[in-house]
């Protein structure tokens, strides 16, 4: 099984909230966002320890590919992670039993905007490339799929 470090370069996804100056209410908002992200990251790390696998961050400034049907409440919710590249996290998320092969099925979405779509999936986004999940109320399946590490489809 290939190993990936959580500090691998993700292009422009490595945004740090400390990189930007803040003042007044903006600092309070930023601190609140950082506390929320710390709580989510702890859930992600806990999941990785349980499996066990290495934690691999998906920073909020990164994008993922998400199907519009996720917003419709269709179940189950599926996710898979390819190796990240060029500002993307490598994650693809869709709802239902199958996904379309249409070129526009997945839309880019910054991870920081996921709350309006499916906040329950955030705890899975710390899984490294090669991992998949399928969730529905009262059901969770998480597994490693080595084929996801090969982008050539073989």
Domain boundaries defined on the chain: 14-149
Q: Kindly state the tokens that stand for 76.
A: 């189950």
CA-based angle 124:93:77, to the nearest 5? 75
For residues 68-107, one letter each, b for 16 or more C-beta atoms within 10 angstroms of the residue's C-beta and e for the rest, the string is: ebbeeeeebbbbbbbbbeeebbbbbbbbeeebeeeeeebe
Number of other CB atoms surrounding residue 149 within 10 Å: 17
pTM, to two decimals = 0.78
For the chain, 154 residues long, give each residue's pLDDT as a single digit of tens.
Answer: 333 333 344 454 644 433 434 445 544 444 455 556 789 999 999 999 999 999 999 999 999 999 999 999 999 999 999 999 988 999 999 999 988 889 999 999 999 999 999 999 999 999 999 999 999 999 999 999 999 998 765 5
């Amino acid at each position: 099984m290939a190993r990936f470090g959580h500090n691998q370069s993700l292009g422009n996804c490595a945004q740090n909230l400390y990189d930007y100056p803040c003042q007044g209410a903006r600092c309070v908002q930023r601190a609140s966002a950082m506390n929320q992200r710390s709580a989510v990251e702890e859930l992600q790390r806990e999941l990785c320890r349980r499996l066990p696998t290495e934690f691999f961050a998906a920073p909020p400034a990164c994008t993922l590919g998400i199907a519009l049907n996720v917003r419709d409440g269709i179940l189950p919710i599926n996710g898979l992670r390819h190796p990240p590249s060029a500002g993307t996290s490598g994650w693809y998320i869709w709802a239902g039993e199958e996904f379309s092969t249409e070129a526009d099925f997945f839309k880019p979405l910054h991870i920081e905007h996921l709350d309006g779509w499916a906040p329950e999936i955030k705890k899975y986004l710390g899984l490294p490339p090669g991992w998949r999940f399928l969730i529905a109320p009262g059901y969770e399946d998480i597994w490693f799929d080595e084929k996801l590490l090969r982008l050539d489809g073989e």
